[in-house]
Amino acid sequence: MFDFDFKGSKVLEKFVLKSILEWDSEVKCSTLEHRSNGMMECKIGTFHHSIIPSFHHSITPTRIFPLHPVLTMINNLIPFSFGGLPNKPEDYEKAKIAVLPVPFDGTVSYRTGTRNGPRAIIEASRNMELYDEENGMEISDYGIFSLGELEPTLASPEAMVLRVRDTVKEILQAGKFPVTLGGEHSITVGAVMALSEKHKDLSVLQLDAHTDLREQYWGTPYSHASAMRRCMEMASVTQVGIRSTCREEEEFVRKNSEQIFWAKNIVGQTGWVDDMVETLEEEVYITIDLDVLDPSIMPSVGTPEPGGLLWYETLEILRKVCQRKRIVGFDVVELLPNSENVAPDFLAAKLVSKLMGYALT
């Protein structure tokens, strides 16, 4: 049951009912009834709306506040998919991109909540413009299908990594371009496992504030703090935006010094990007830990670090890499949503959208 305060407006009453019926033809037995308290009671009979691939989900009744009741109702009916795009099972066959939300933060060491990141990114994407003025296309032109959230396993961090690996392998076998949304950074290891089996000369481009090169952390080699150490066992890794490491990681940092681009040397600069691209193989997987961005534009991360990249320089890095290399997949991880500030959610969603465009055009 949905409550609307129409202030006695019959025009608005009819508009609400018309909007609901036009938006989803599966709505049955919709009625609007007056109540003694002056509110309108909108009764919607049993219906289903596809918001998760291969599943039907009954919309949970919620209270709609007087301001813009129709828009709120319509938002509830938009598919819960990246960009709010159609997401029926038959759409999967036509899609080029498969979006995989992975709500896992089982090894975080400071602030928990990145498990809510994938849902926040998708929610924001449902409310952003789909047209990209830079390439003159809508993201729907690429063909995007959003998979259901990958159920976390708490058996062990390694078990979760393997679950991601197996799912990404299925995406690749279906001929789709994998886009993974985290969640914590350990999920990248699973994606790289799957891609390294298919692409033998693979590079990983890591945009991050932290090196993530510990052999293990808190008793597991599959911690978010060990993500790039594991990736280096399968592919070459180039690190960009780094501004935090530890003594234990120094040896690996020295060995990989030509493939680490420290934030202090690149922020606000441009000449270094060509040198960075030269360190990459022809096939590249991109992983973006959102804490690579400066906290002034991305405060919603678990471990923010001052002195990060800004929006347009980040896009310039990604644009040049995508122009010169073949991107085989990417992930965006470590968003820790804050209900009091949704701007970072929109930034993350827009970043995913922009990188889709760069990678596929």
- Express each pLDDT in 230-275 by its tens digit: 999 999 999 999 999 998 888 778 877 789 999 999 999 989 999 9
Average pLDDT for 299-313: 97
Domain CATH number, residue 260: 3.40.800.10
Instruction: Assess whether 121 and 167 both reside in one domain.
Output: yes
Question: For 20-34, 100-114, 240-254, which range has the lowest pLDDT when averaged over its residues?
Answer: 20-34
Instruction: Assess whether 17 and 127 both reside in one domain.
Output: no
Share of the chain above pLDDT 70, in %: 79
pLDDT of res. 155: 93
Instruction: Assess whether 166 and 224 both reside in one domain.
Output: yes
Instruction: Assess whether 279 and 352 both reside in one domain.
Output: yes
pLDDT of res. 248: 85
List, in sequence order, every beta strand (DSSP E) within the chain: 2-4, 31-34, 40-43, 49-52, 55-57, 97-102, 131-132, 137-138, 144-146, 177-182, 202-207, 236-242, 260-262, 283-289, 326-333
Q: CA separation (Å) from 234 to 27, 205, 246, 254, 310?
A: 50, 13, 23, 19, 30
Residue 45 predicted with pLDDT over 50: no
Give the domain-ending residue among 58, 77, 96: 77
pTM for this model (two decimals): 0.81
Name the residue type at position 141.
Answer: D
Instruction: Provide the domain limits for residue 16.
Output: 2-77
Instruction: Assess whether 55 and 119 both reside in one domain.
Output: no
Instruction: Assess whether 188 and 132 both reside in one domain.
Output: yes
Mean residue pLDDT of the chain comes to 84
Domain count, the chain: 2
Question: How far apart (Å, rounded) are the C-alpha atoms in residues 284 and 325?
Answer: 7
Give the domain-ending residue among 28, 45, 77: 77
